[in-house]
Structure 1
Amino acid sequence: MEDKGFISFLAIRANASPDTIYATFDGEPITFADLHRTSDSVAVELRRLGVSKGDRVALMLSNSQNSLAALFAIAKCGAIWVPVNVQLRGDGLKYILEHCNPRIVFADRDFFPNILECGVDGSAFRLIAETGEAESLDRLADGCHVFSEDLPAADDLFALNYTSGTTGRPKAVCVTHRMLRYASEGAILCSDARDGDVFFVWEPLYHIGGAQLMPIPLLREVRLAMVQRFSASRFWDQVRECGATQIHYLGGVLQILLKQSQSARDRDHKVRVAWGGGCPRDIWRVFEERFGMPLRECYGMTESSSITTFNETGVLGSVGRSVPWLSVEVLDECGKPVPMGTSGEIVVRSRQEGAVFTGYFRNEEATSKALRSDGFHTGDLGMLDADGNLYFLGRLTDSVRVRGENVSAFEVEHVAGSHPLVEDCAMIGVNAEVGEQEIKLFLKPKAGADIDFVSFSGWLAQRLAPFQNPRYLAVIEEFERTPSQRIMKHRLPTSLEGSWDRLESAGQ
């Protein structure tokens, strides 16, 4: 019977074509035999270190050959991978390490101070460096051991993916081996992957956007071209050097690439498809025309195996239709389908076994709120057109109640972000003197721009309803972002000190 997970395919590929390249990392090749050997060795060493099936193993590592070996080793031995954002420190890092209670934490030695000083009980787990020690991860990978135990089943737990906490504490999504397989199959569909393709991988493996790419070479005749991190200035040179045919984007990546100076080499590449999520409608065609490739937008959440819908027809602004193993509905507050062209909550159901998660780790309240009898309630606002194409309209919870009206952050930010002097913006709610909330809008001006608040507010007033027009405006140099480049709104100050007040300016 075919494995509905992914890990058994590594041995199959390593035995059938040991010298075939699974991936390159900064240009250095990693063959299937290399990955199978090193992950086998780490899996055996994990057992020696006391890791049993179901134990958590946290990785606080940048992308590297060692992190790949560790990831596949965890999958082989039935442990549970806890990817940790390498930018975390303090209370946020402490929360994850205490919540998941790992037996072992592998980390780059540069991150040791963040771990040891975050307030977590360091005696609760074993901390192992990536390199440079007698029992560091690179040494464990070179042990030449053979892992001979039975591999985990498809529905065994593989990872705890802590969702980016844009409004509060992150939740740990329980991801099975089967779910990561679905995520990879979804990426294959969305990216139009074909035999011989090369995927350029800049995403950190601690984000589902990177993790979902790892099984793809096991499932198709494709190769990964991995780099340590995203670099706007080097992006296209790296893409050309590795011969990439697919590039992936998240968050503000497309805007960042468009900001680079135009070049005669903008179309000098082999990329067939740019795929991902978060492309603003107004730059969609601009990007396609400048760089000479179609964009294929997708939508999804880790809870529903990463990719729920994908746009293969090029309908502008749409995130497309559902993958074969999931179905999508848009429901009102009473749980009834809304008419076509009307917004409501996106609710996802599984068409095939195990495509939607079974819950959040150690969080029954959040699980019961998300998983209901009619499906997984995403908390996202969406709309379906007559052809069944889904349009993502923002987070349901990312709204402000102003004088009896719900104001979607997406609507305000979409308008404000189209102003010629604004590079990016973010809306939050702040306490109102009378009523529920007022809107505070943070603006990141374009380089060299100086925004006049009075004229800007007047410009907004021509494009937004009165209750949507922010009362408070503030300029910010840079937004703090999650690994997927979403703005961390819960870190934005609710204080009104230094903010421009529209009502005060008007003498009200």
Structure 2
Amino acid sequence: MQSALDLSVMSRVVAAEAELDAQRLVYVFENGSFPDEVVNTTDLAVRGNQLASELQRIGIVTGDRVGVMMRNHPEFVYTYVATARLGAPAVPIDPRARGDKLAYFITFAECSVLLVADYVLADDAVADTIRKTGVRTYVLSTPEGRAAGIDLTGWASLNEVFDGPEAPTVREHVTDPTTPSLLGFTSGTTGKPKAIEFTHDRMLLYRRLPGFFGLQDDDVFYTGLSMTHGNAVIVTMMPPLWRAVGHSVFSRWFTRTRLWEICAEYGCTVWSNLGGIATALYSQPPSQWDQNNPVRLVVSAGMPRELWTPFEDRFGVRVCEWYGALEGGFAYNPVGVGPVGSFGKPPADLLRMEVFDGDEQPCASGEVGELAVRPVSGPARLTYYKNPEASANKVRDGWLRTGDLVYRDADGWLFFSHRKEEGGLRKLGEFISGSFIARVLAEHPGVLDVHIFGVPAKSGAPGEIDVVAAVVPVDAAAIEVAELFTLSELKLERSHIPDFIWIVDELPRTVSEKVQSRVLVDSFDDSDESVFGRVRTKSQG
């Protein structure tokens, strides 16, 4: 019988799988016009050990932090294997990070070494920031970087580590599965990002997720989400490690307009929805892929309720909705079981969930309150790196406070309302559904993408907002904003009609494809010529 260590430490899992079937396909990395990169179990074991050996050679020891800053590459997975073997937590860093924020990630986590892709260093300002931190840096030369002629003179080569001979086996250093496997930074919406310590034994929960989602051992899972985000790691990277799916396909970077085409080309049967992906796909014009694709299941964390059934019908898929918080907590709504719009219930044998009001009392059915989580086995535990005060504030009386405001129906199914710091969309005395507005506008043929957010109401009513629809048009010169307002008036109730339609080139997104509402709010100016009020449309001048 395998021990908790064997089941939860990634390097041990990889070694066992390579011994069981040395040539089993695990990952395919799709890279646009460049050749695919294919990874099998032996690649994971050998390459992970090579990197562990090199890190050990330069003095990395158990407890040191190893930063990794690149898009989706095989070397990203090799890093996770190597750091697990050494007991040196990985620190994934968004490759788009710049300036003070990048310096903060590296220095706050006290990274002893940084593994970075060449295209990151193509930005001289980023390269200068990294140099100034003093962190020892290895650079991955990529096909796209070589094609662009990126000069890597003066930087240590990560490729040479993997191009060399097989290294002597580095021993497994993790003896306690409750020790950290990686540091995951939060989004930092309420201040500087905090770093959550993820422990190795979280994998014991992750191993059960494929069963909850309804995955099959012959499924091919696709994502373009970044490996710097937990969703891509937990939902797509991990299942093929222990044969829960056939293999997984990663895109180097995510392009919404290519999703169905990639799934068709690579025979993908499942993909992972997050943030505004579903809305953006639904906004695309009808195509040959709508009913002619191999996908049977969308594993979704954030399917808008109003879009759920139309999305399933249009693309011939089923949706399994789920909820997960980086700090902890999991719930799921299996296909055809719970009501449309609900993110589900927690596994009864693992977790308890409660909805608390402002007085820390359980909410009645239908009443919005903060979601709290705790294991069935005892109190919740959470550690923010170097921030004991924040850790203590997050867990009170054994319950982890998620910051997500939700409600239950009479049967106990949970529904998301909004993030605590975002306050929700409240207009004319009622909370309104941004996803419903987005669905209506997304059906207009001139709309490529759309996001709904709120700005303080011009009326000055406390807590009230004016509704803004940020619209990415197919053709900015041809879009008739008056048609969008007319469509809204025909299909939406009065409280849901946008007060402003803002024509934008693109929507700002996080690495997890979540639209950054705060960036939109801070940039919004109703006097800008790209912003149209209900009485000032483009056709009216």
Scaled to the shorter chain, the TM-score interval is 0.7 to 0.9
TM-score by length of 2: 0.82
Could you tell me which amino acid in structure 2 is paired with residue 417 of structure 1?
Answer: A
| Structure 1 pair 246–471 and aligned structure 2 pair: CA distance change class (3 A) | closer
Q: Distance in 2 between matches of 1:471 and 1:245?
A: 40
Aligned runs of 1:42-441 on 2, under 5 Å?
42-112=51-121, 113=123, 116=126, 119=129, 122-131=132-141, 135-143=156-164, 144-152=166-174, 153-186=176-209, 188-212=210-234, 213-222=236-245, 223-304=247-328, 307-312=330-335, 313-323=337-347, 324-352=349-377, 357-399=381-423, 411=432, 413-420=434-441, 423-430=449-456, 439-441=465-467
Deviation string 1:460-484 (CA, Å, 9 cap, x unpaired) is 998366xx98877654442211112
Structure 2 SS opposite 1:398: coil
Residue equivalent to 1:480: 508
Is 1:331–1:345's contact at 8 Å kept on the other side of the alignment?
Answer: yes
Residue equivalent to 1:23: 27
| Structure 1 pair 225–87 and aligned structure 2 pair: CA distance change class (3 A) | same
For residue 70 of structure 1, report the CA deviation from its aligned partner: 1.5
Residue range with higher mean Cα deviation, 430-439 or 75-84: 430-439
Q: Distance in 2 between matches of 1:182 and 1:320?
A: 17
Q: Distance in 2 between matches of 1:454 and 1:245?
A: 35
For residue 443 of structure 1, report the CA deviation from its aligned partner: 2.2
Structure 2 SS opposite 1:303: coil
Is 1:330–1:383's contact at 8 Å kept on the other side of the alignment?
Answer: yes
Is 2:322–2:332's contact at 8 Å kept on the other side of the alignment?
Answer: yes
Is 1:167–1:490's contact at 8 Å kept on the other side of the alignment?
Answer: no
Deviation string 1:333-379 (CA, Å, 9 cap, x unpaired) is 1111111222211111122579x552222233432332111411111
1:490 aligns with 2:518: yes
| Structure 1 pair 455–469 and aligned structure 2 pair: CA distance change class (3 A) | closer
Deviation string 1:4-33 (CA, Å, 9 cap, x unpaired) is 414211111111111111222234431111
Q: Distance in 2 between matches of 1:440 and 1:169?
A: 28
1:9 aligns with 2:13: yes
Could you tell me which amino acid in structure 1 is paired with residue 188 of structure 2?
Answer: G
Identity %: 25
Is 1:59–1:106's contact at 8 Å kept on the other side of the alignment?
Answer: yes
Q: Distance in 1 between matches of 2:389 and 2:397?
A: 15
| Structure 1 pair 254–427 and aligned structure 2 pair: CA distance change class (3 A) | closer
Structure 2 SS opposite 1:322: coil
Could you tell me which amino acid in structure 2 is paired with residue 318 of structure 1?
Answer: S
| Structure 1 pair 346–437 and aligned structure 2 pair: CA distance change class (3 A) | closer
Q: Distance in 2 between matches of 1:471 and 1:126?
A: 51
Deviation string 1:229-284 (CA, Å, 9 cap, x unpaired) is 22233322321232222211111212222233433443334333111211112221
Structure 2 SS opposite 1:217: helix
Partner of residue 470 from structure 2, selected from 444, 450, 471: 444
| Structure 1 pair 110–297 and aligned structure 2 pair: CA distance change class (3 A) | same
TM-score by length of 1: 0.87
How many pairs are equivalent?
Answer: 497
Q: Distance in 2 between matches of 1:200 and 1:415?
A: 27
